[in-house]
């Protein structure tokens, strides 16, 4: 369900005032008028309904309604956080990756510069790019209704990425790192059967990971995983891998053990 994400909590009277891009989206795109009720998320993640009181002077005034019946979540399975370590791709492909990752329920996106990647961010552009991606995340959450507050980190080096991975492992001792790179006997079901507290998915750029990067990820505990014989674009690989992980985790309860067939007599 579509939900508008409020950047600020309502005042003591339950009123909200929206201007700028938020006003344009609600008043011009969604065509809200006085009396319109729309679903929203407060900064703390609480779901509320907001009734529009006035739309004038480039400002929308609304009130958070009380006594709303809580919605029953469609999916009751609690999933571990899923973090995307994404090598920066060419051009504006990162915009698409951010949008798709948000709609797919990724908890955090960490872009990094890789050996085979083409630099797309000049010095001093990191904050500008991150701000753009944060706006894309907000739009994607509002469009998809995702209840996961996807966060975005600034682009970093592989060395800084490894340092952050160590921090995550400290917070989540059973964290699982998956490297989208062929090699090893393990399967995705095998890796996820241990019920990890967090899953980090590392996706390379168009040219793939360099041998040095592969060695570094494996040394840090990442498990290699191939996605078949088809060569996927980096933006497709991120969506493909994340979707596969989420589906397997969502359907964990339905996994059936394989019982060897026994012949009579």
pLDDT computed for residue 147 by the predictor:
78
- In terms of Cβ atoms closer than 10 Å to its own Cβ (0-12, 13-18, 19+), residue 218 is middle
Report the candidate in 198, 114, 112, 207 with the shortest Cα–Cα distance to residue 155. Answer: 112
**What mean pLDDT is reported for the chain?**
86
Q: What are the sequence ranges of the domains in the chain?
A: 4-64, 82-252
Q: What mean pLDDT comes out for the span 160-175?
A: 96
Q: What mean pLDDT comes out for the span 95-116?
A: 94
Q: What mean pLDDT comes out for the span 13-22?
A: 91
- Helices 93-103, 234-250: axis angle to 10 degrees equals 10
Per residue in 178-215, pLDDT tens? 999 987 777 898 999 888 999 999 999 988 999 999 99
CATH number of 4-64: 2.40.240.20
Q: What is the pLDDT confidence band of residue 19, given thresholds at 50, 70 and 90?
A: very high
* Distance (Å, whole) CA 84 – CA 124: 23
Contact 98, 137 (CB under 8 A): yes
**CATH 3.90.550.40 holds for 82-252:** no
List phi, psi (to 5°) of 179.
Answer: -105, 120
Q: Answer yes or no: is pLDDT of 228 > 80.
A: no
Most confident of the ranges 29-33, 113-117, 120-124, 215-219: 215-219
Q: What mean pLDDT comes out for the span 84-92?
A: 92
More confident residue, 148 or 170: 170
More confident residue, 127 or 54: 54
pLDDT computed for residue 251 by the predictor:
86
Q: What is the pLDDT confidence band of residue 73, given thresholds at 50, 70 and 90?
A: very low
Q: What is the pLDDT confidence band of residue 151, given thresholds at 50, 70 and 90?
A: very high
pLDDT computed for residue 136 by the predictor:
94
Q: HSE, CB side, 13 Å, CA atoms: give it for residue 232.
A: 17
pLDDT computed for residue 125 by the predictor:
61
Q: What is the pLDDT confidence band of residue 80, given thresholds at 50, 70 and 90?
A: very high
More confident residue, 42 or 145: 42
Per residue in 30-67, pLDDT tens? 899 999 999 888 887 788 899 999 999 899 999 998 75
pLDDT computed for residue 255 by the predictor:
66
């Amino acid at each position: 369900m579509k939900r508008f994400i409020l950047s600020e909590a309502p005042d003591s009277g339950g009123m909200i005032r929206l201007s700028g891009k938020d006003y344009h989206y609600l008043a011009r795109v969604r065509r809200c008028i006085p009396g319109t009720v729309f679903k929203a998320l407060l900064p703390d993640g609480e779901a509320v309904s907001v009734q529009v009181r006035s739309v004038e002077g480039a400002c929308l005034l609304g009130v958070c309604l009380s006594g709303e019946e809580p919605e029953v979540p469609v999916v009751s399975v609690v999933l571990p956080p899923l973090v995307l370590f994404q090598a920066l791709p060419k051009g504006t492909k990162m915009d698409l990756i951010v949008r798709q990752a948000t709609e797919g329920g990724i908890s955090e996106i960490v872009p990094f510069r890789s050996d085979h990647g083409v630099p797309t961010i000049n010095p001093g552009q990191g904050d500008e790019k991150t701000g753009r991606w944060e706006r894309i995340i907000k739009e994607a959450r509002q469009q998809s209704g995702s209840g996961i507050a996807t966060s975005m980190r600034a682009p970093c080096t592989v060395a800084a990425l490894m340092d952050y991975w160590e921090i995550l492992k400290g917070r989540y001792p059973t964290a699982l790192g998956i490297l989208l790179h062929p090699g090893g006997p393990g399967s995705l079901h095998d890796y996820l059967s241990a019920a990890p507290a967090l899953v980090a998915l590392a996706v390379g750029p168009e040219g793939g990971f360099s041998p040095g990067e592969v060695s570094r990820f494996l040394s840090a505990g990442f498990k290699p995983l191939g996605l078949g014989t088809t060569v996927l674009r980096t933006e497709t690989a991120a969506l493909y891998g994340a979707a596969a992980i989420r589906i397997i985790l969502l359907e964990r309860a339905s996994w059936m053990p394989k019982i060897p067939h026994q012949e009579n007599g």
